[in-house]
Chain A
Amino acid sequence: MVERAKGEDGCEQEKMRVEAEELERILPGVRKPGRYVGGEYNSVAKDWEAVSTRVCLAFPEIYDLGMSNLGLAILYDILNSLPDVLAERAYLPWVDMIAAMRQARLPLYTLESRRPLREFDIIGVGLPYEQLYTNLLEMLDLAGLPCRSADRDERHPLVVAGGHAAFNPEPAAEFVDAFAVGDGEELVVDLVRAYQETRGQPREVQLRALASIPGVYVPRFYEVAYGDDSRVRGIEPTVPEARLPVLSRVVSVLPAPPTRLLVPTVDVSHNRAAVEIQRGCSRGCRFCQAGLATRPVRERPVEEIIDAIAALMPLTGFEEVGLLSLSSSDHSGIERLVQQIAERFSADHLSISLPALRADSFSVGLAEAVAQGRHSGFTFAPEAGSERLRAVINKPIPTEQMLEVARQVFQRGWRTIKLYFMIGLPQEEEEDVLAISDLARAVLAEGRREHGRKVQVNLSVNTFVPKPHTPFQWAGLESEAVIREKQALLKRRLRGPGLKLSLSDPQASVLEAALARGDRRLAGVVHRAWELGARFDAWDEHRQPAAWSQAYAEVGLDPAFYAHRERALDEQFPWEVVSIGVRRKVLLAEHRRSQSGETTADCRDSCYGCGVLAAYGSGWSAQWRCPRPPDNA
């Protein structure tokens, strides 16, 4: 895929830039061409020659999804604020554009300067979830780069990946040179500086320098041994710089949020400004990796959030701002925050979106503030239908409380409520599945009391996928047959007006489950599946189960071993090359408590010593919701 052009001396030279004319030859034939031309308000096109280090932030999904990734926006802002560094962006083009680029022999380019990715020093890949690995390969290949780290050297850009999938880096270990685990704000600067200090040296030297940075995992410096039963038998670092485990990075204080946000020129999902109001979650839902892996809980002060909104409005023109966190209604200043936003910005026709509301910390005041000029719908995530199962997963919200919230929401004029549930949770019985439909019907009844038949309850029911670093990391994914039975049961029970059910594809869950808890041998499967045409694995209409089955068979691995197998309590896990600070024995205790249906309180109220404070306590700041450690003066 490497496009070559004749240089003046007659030698072949690699193409330095994709010209607008070349692009315009293919743009008329592809869907939504506006996503391939850049030019967004607040995009930064620095002088290429005026900086020493050029970073391409690459997102292995389409523009429409990548543009709303706040992590990438934060890194873009930080990197471009460094005088000697520039950062540009690339997203994976949609299938029609990929085909057109390959046919026209155009390499993947950045939107700012339209330079091929191989012209950059570092490619920083965002991996927020696991189904992006084949897309990563597609991206590297479209950029004309070898897919495997071992096939690249110091003449190629350094490929660094971060994001939540990095909490189990192993299935992508062969493709990525180094993983940045945890909060990226400080880590990304450390990476760039280490790169600058070893510029021009052999890749091995560069990577050893990177490996010595806290939070960086360089897969090639670890050896993993497997037993006869195919389970991990041992993990050994092979150079002194390689730590075991690599402790995920944490920033003591959330840096000020970016305000010069990119404004998309074509419509994208979540087409609005975003301000992160809180990182981490103290609730301890046992299925949730994000809540545990982003601890400690750090709350951004209300004043700082207000200042950020005031600054970003004239800089971006966004008419809506999303207040992002894993559990918005848990921010201790949330009522004050939404009130102040309403008071201060009501004349500006600014609306607020508040995702991730919890029914047990929801209030009418919040509902009213969010209602300003907006009447879409309300979303809640009971996750499980029965109170018993909600205790198992440690999201113990009483049914009566949910119905009370639904009542309030309907009374305030909303007619649509969306509910998120999971099936396939540990200990789930048929009656728990039936409880999902009972709860949905009870919510519908509350709405009908208020608005008659004009009420809609939308259910999104996903299959639970066990994730690394959670109390459910030992669990097996439900078998495909049982998932289908439970889905059929829900379909039968949730027929009728006012109810809409959407279900996840069981084959998608099997793929996700295998990749989520895979080891580095899975890289062979990922690569082969990609060669066989797999990509856009998160898209139901593009997933290719046949390619994956064939790849597993050829490589000689069993997807059930990764997806469905219940793990032994003493099993060493491939993802334990990484530590999120939460102790394994705490996860195990939570696992056992789940089996007896015991709940664990919100740790803001009573710290149970999850390990985060022991791992990171020296960096404690007033933003933390953890108790101040005694040795922190």
Chain B
Amino acid sequence: MTVTMGRLRITFSKGGLLRYSGHLDLARAWERSLRRAGIPVAYSHGFNPRPRIQLAAALPLGHAGEAELLDVWLERPVAVGELARALQPALLEGLVVKEVREVPVQQPALPAQVAASEYEVAAEWEEPVERLQERMDRLLAETELRRQRRGKSYDLRPLIDRLWIVQEWSQAAGGPVLGMVLAARPGATGRPEAVLEALGLEGCRAQFKRLRLVLGQG
């Protein structure tokens, strides 16, 4: 039996063209990065042992993440202080380690702890920014926003915790930068694309950046 000697939480950013590799590919990239860095990751038991690591939440293709989270279970103790430095050279271009800290082993699974995510979305918008603000106000005044996702109907409105204009103009997309705090509930996760759609901005040029994940009790 492998004794798990601890659980680490790595905060990292994902950017550059690495944004175009998906969630499963990122998980695989982390497994290999940890192997390259010589970090003693614990393995699951059973027929097909897998390294015990867990990403908090999938980041859609093309989105950047400023403070993504990864939990890693260890096979033997390591000095946490030196990990970030040991890890960085083993990472792909586009990944930067921001912080490594120990978390209690018995905490719930990381994805279950995610309560909300904060985004910055630079969206293409040619009209005066006030027009967009009006649309946002109308949206927030609604009590229900029925949307379809993969053939299922859900209410987007309760998933929007906050929605505001961060910056009136950004060159990146040719429009303002929106701030969004979107909730993640069992069975429904607020997605920034869905909010753009609800604002009538579907199909516009947009750049998505997830600033942070808000953890709850899980």
Please list the residues of chain A having a beta carbon within 8 angstroms of any beta carbon in chain B. Answer: 20, 23-24, 27-28, 33-34, 36-41, 263, 265-267, 271, 313-319, 348-349, 373-375
The 7 A-B pairs of least Cβ separation, nearest first, read A317-B32, A34-B21, A37-B17, A317-B35, A317-B36, A33-B20, A34-B20
Complex Cα gap A318–B31 (Å): 9
- Nearest CB of B to A84, in Å: 25
Say yes or no: B32 contacts A374, CB within 8 Å. Answer: no
Partner of B35, one of A36, A38, A266, A313: A313
Interface string of B80-101 (1 = CB under 8 A from A): 0000000000101110000000
The verdict on B38 contacting chain A, using a C-beta distance below 8 Å, is: yes
Pick the interface stretch among B46-54, B130-138, B142-150.
B46-54
- Cα A314 to Cα B86 in complex, Å, equals 12
CA gap between A352 and B38 in the complex, in Å:
19
In the complex with contacts A27-B20, A28-B62, A267-B28, A41-B35 CB distance below 8 A = no
Mark each residue of chain B from 12 to 49: 1 if its CB lies under 8 Å from any CB of chain A, else 0: 00001110111011001101111110100001000111
Q: Are A263's CB and B20's CB within 8 A? A: no
| In the complex, B61 has a CB within 8 A of chain A | yes
For residue B3, give the distance in angstroms from its CB to the closest CB of chain A.
14
A residues near B22, Cβ cutoff 8 Å: 34, 266
A39 B47 Cβ-Cβ under 8 A: no
- The CA of A317 and the CA of B51, in the complex, are separated in Å by 12
Asked whether A28 lies within 8 Å of B61 as measured between CB atoms, the reply is yes
Quote the shortest CB–CB distance from B83 to chain A (angstroms). 16
CB distance from B88 to the nearest CB of A (A): 13
Chain B contacts for A37, CB-based, 8 A: 17-18, 20-21
Q: Which residue of B lies closest to A314 (CB)?
A: B36
Q: List 17 A-B contacts (CB under 8 A).
A: A20-B17, A24-B62, A27-B20, A33-B62, A34-B25, A34-B61, A36-B20, A37-B17, A38-B17, A41-B32, A41-B36, A271-B28, A317-B31, A319-B31, A349-B43, A373-B48, A374-B48
Q: Collect the chain B residues with CB atoms within 8 Å of residue A39's CB.
A: 16-18, 92-94
Residues of A contacting B20 in the complex (Cβ-Cβ under 8 angstroms): 27, 33-34, 36-37
Q: Judging by beta carbons under 8 Å apart, are B21 and A349 in contact?
A: no
Whether B92 and A319, one on each chain, are in contact in the complex, defined by CB atoms closer than 8 angstroms, is: no
**Interface contact B49-A349, CB-CB below 8 Å:** yes
Q: A5 to chain B: closest CB distance in Å?
A: 21
Task: Determine the distance from Cα of A78 to Cα of B24 in the docked complex, in whole angstroms.
Answer: 32
In the complex, are the beta carbons of B48 and A375 less than 8 A apart?
A: yes
Pair B24/A267 contact, Cβ less than 8 Å: yes
**Is A319 a contact partner of B35 (Cβ separation < 8 A)?**
yes
- Which residue of the partner chain B has the closest CB to A32? B22
- Residue among A23, A265, A374 with the highest chain B CB neighbour number at 10 A: A265
Output the nearest chain B residue to A34 by Cβ-Cβ distance: B21
B43 partner residues in chain A, CB cutoff 8 A: 349
- Beta-carbon nearest neighbor of B47 in chain A: A375
Contact of B32 among A38, A263, A375 (CB under 8 A): A263
Instruction: State A374–B93 Cα separation when bound (angstroms).
Output: 31
B129 to chain A, nearest CB (A): 24
Given A39-B93, A318-B32, A349-B43, A265–B18 Cβ distance below 8 Å? Answer: yes
Measured CB to CB, the closest approach of chain B to A377, in angstroms, equals 13
Q: Which residues of A contact B36 (CB under 8 A)?
A: 41, 314-317
Establish whether residues B49 and A373, one from each chain, have CB atoms under 8 Å apart when the complex forms: yes
* Inter-chain contacts of A36 with B (CB < 8 A): 20
Residue of B nearest to A40 (CB): B92
A-side contacts of B94, CB under 8 Å: 39
Which chain B positions have C-beta within 8 A of A316?
Answer: 32, 36
**Least CB separation from A313: chain B residue:** B35
Q: CA A599 – CA B199 in complex, angstroms?
A: 76
Once the chains are docked, how many angstroms separate the CA of A267 from the CA of B28? 9
Given known contacts A27-B62, A28-B61, A319-B31, A41 and B25 CB-to-CB distance under 8 angstroms: no
What residue in chain A is nearest B206 (Cβ atoms)? A28
Most A Cβ at <10 Å: residue of B34, B36, B47: B36
Given the interface pairs A33-B61, A39-B94, A265-B21, the reply to whether A317 lies near B33 with Cβ below 8 Å is yes
Give B28's nearest chain A residue, CB to CB.
A267
Nearest-CB residue, chain A, relative to B18: A39
Partner of B21, one of A266, A315, A375: A266
User: A228 vs B179: C-alpha distance in the bound complex, in angstroms?
Assistant: 78
A contact residues around B48 at 8 Å (CB) = 373-375
Smallest beta-carbon distance B22→chain A, Å: 7
The CA of A24 and the CA of B173, in the complex, are separated in Å by 12
Q: List chain A residues, Cβ under 8 A from B38.
A: 314
- Shortest CB–CB separation between residue A371 and chain B, in angstroms? 11
Q: Is the CB of A265 within 8 A of B25?
A: yes
Closest beta carbon of chain A to B43's beta carbon, Å: 6
For the A-B complex with A20-B17, A34-B20, A318-B32 known, give 7 more contacts whose Cβ atoms are closer than 8 Å: A34-B25, A39-B18, A39-B93, A265-B25, A265-B92, A315-B36, A317-B90
B62 touches A266 (CB 8 A): no
Asked whether, in the complex, the Cβ of B32 is within 8 Å of the Cβ of A267, the reply is no
The CA-CA distance from A20 to B20 in the complex, in Å, is 12
A314 vs B28: C-alpha distance when bound (angstroms) = 15
Interface string of B51-73 (1 = CB under 8 A from A): 10000000001100000000000
A267/B25 contact (C-beta < 8 A), A33-B20, A314-B38 known? yes
A129 to B123: give the CA distance in the assembly, Å: 47
A40 to B47, CA, bound (A): 30
Complex formed: what's the CA distance from A348 to B17 in Å? 31
Specify which chain B residues have a CB less than 8 angstroms from the CB of A265 in the assembled complex.
18, 21, 25, 29, 92
User: What distance in Å separates the Cβ of B97 from its nearest Cβ neighbour in chain A?
Assistant: 15
Q: What is the chain B residue whose CB lies nearest that of A38? A: B17
Q: Which B residues touch A267, using CB under 8 A?
A: 24-25, 28
Residue picked from B21, B43, B61, most chain A C-beta under 10 Å: B21
Which B residues lie within 8 Å of A38 (CB)?
Answer: 17
Cα(A28)–Cα(B43), bound, Å: 35
Nearest residue in A to B92 (C-beta to C-beta)? A41
Q: Which residue of B lies closest to A318 (CB)?
A: B32
Q: How far is the CA of A263 from the CA of B61 in the complex (A)?
A: 20
> Closest residue to A45 on the B side, CB-wise?
B93
Please indicate the chain A residues that have their CB under 8 angstroms from the CB of B24 in the complex.
Answer: 267
Interchain CB contact under 8 A, B32 and A319: yes
Beta-carbon nearest neighbor of A372 in chain B: B49
Closest to A348 in B: B35
Residue in chain A with minimal CB distance to B22: A34
Chain B contacts of A28 at CB under 8 A? Answer: 61-62
Query: Measured between alpha carbons, how far is A267 from B26 in the docked complex, in Å?
Result: 10
Complex CA–CA separation, A23 to B17 (angstroms): 10
Q: How far is the CA of A357 from the CA of B137 in the complex (A)?
A: 68
CA distance A28 to B207 in the complex (A): 11
> When chains A and B are docked, how far (Å) is the Cα of A514 from the Cα of B92?
44
> Which residues in B have their C-beta under 8 angstroms from that of A319?
31-32, 35, 51
Q: How far is the CA of A314 from the CA of B47 in the complex (A)?
A: 25
Instruction: State which of B18, B25, B51, B93 has its C-beta within 8 Å of the C-beta of A349.
Output: B51
Please, which residue of chain B has its CB at the minimum distance from the CB of A413? B47
Query: In the complex, what residues of A have CB within 8 A of residue B62's CB?
Result: 24, 27-28, 33
